[in-house]
Amino acid sequence: MLPRLPLPALALAPLMLLGACFLPLADAGDIQPLKTTVIKATTGLCKRGETCHKDRAGAWTPKTAIAILGVSIAEQADIDLYVDVEVSTRPEMYQCAGDDSAGCIFRAKYAGPGLFDYGASSGSTYIGSNITTTSITFPSGYGIMVPAGEPIYLHLDVRNGSLIDLKVDQDAWIYSVPVD
């Protein structure tokens, strides 16, 4: 059986819990500027039923050394696409395997269910969108270090399962801070 609290203590308990939710996590002097960079990438035209692979589909080269604190990739598939996307300092995709992970930053896969063809060879039935966000953030005090002048690439591997040819575009948001 739980102990009985006096009525005034019971009445204040929700306010104390609510107040704890709004305690500041850091002083304003402790917050450092965060840089957001968007890498825009494209496979170009990807014909229906084909797999379109493009190493270095997009790139960004920081002018100063940075620590990457997080990456976010919005799934932008309104139609039947399977997308494998990789953010890396390596010049080609699928080089991040085994114990050698230097330069590997983030990889995500998603599938957009938007078109059903019901076995048809033309036309489509549009059923909606599959827009969500795939992201990674690192624990406080940790980041992926990238030297000044080293390119960060966005690699794409896309299987176009839709009934139309289309240009596939993908963005990645890189959240970083400069390092000395």
Q: What does the pLDDT read at residue 174? A: 96
The answer to whether 178 and 68 are in contact (CB under 8 A) is no
- Residue 2 counted as domain residue: no
- Residue 83 counted as domain residue: yes
Encode pLDDT of 62-102 as tens digits: 999 999 999 998 876 567 778 888 999 999 998 877 777 78
C-alpha dist (Å) from residue 98 to 15, 104, 126, 145, 154 = 51, 11, 40, 20, 20
Question: For residue 170, what are the domain limits?
Answer: 29-178
Q: What does the pLDDT read at residue 97? A: 73
Q: What does the pLDDT read at residue 95? A: 87
- Residue 1 counted as domain residue: no
Encode pLDDT of 17-65 as tens digits: 444 444 455 566 677 788 999 999 999 999 988 999 999 999 999 999 9
Question: CA angle, corner 102, sides to 100 and 104, nearest 5?
Answer: 105
- Residue 125 counted as domain residue: yes
Structure tokens at 90: 């390596």
The number of distinct structural domains making up the chain is: 1
Question: Which domain CATH number covers 64?
Answer: 2.60.120
Q: What does the pLDDT read at residue 18? A: 45
Give the pLDDT mean for 3-18. 45
pLDDT at 133 over 60: yes
- Residue 84 counted as domain residue: yes
- Residue 11 counted as domain residue: no
- Residue 87 counted as domain residue: yes
- Residue 33 counted as domain residue: yes
Q: What does the pLDDT read at residue 17? A: 45
The answer to whether 67 and 171 are in contact (CB under 8 A) is no
d(CA 75, CA 40): 13
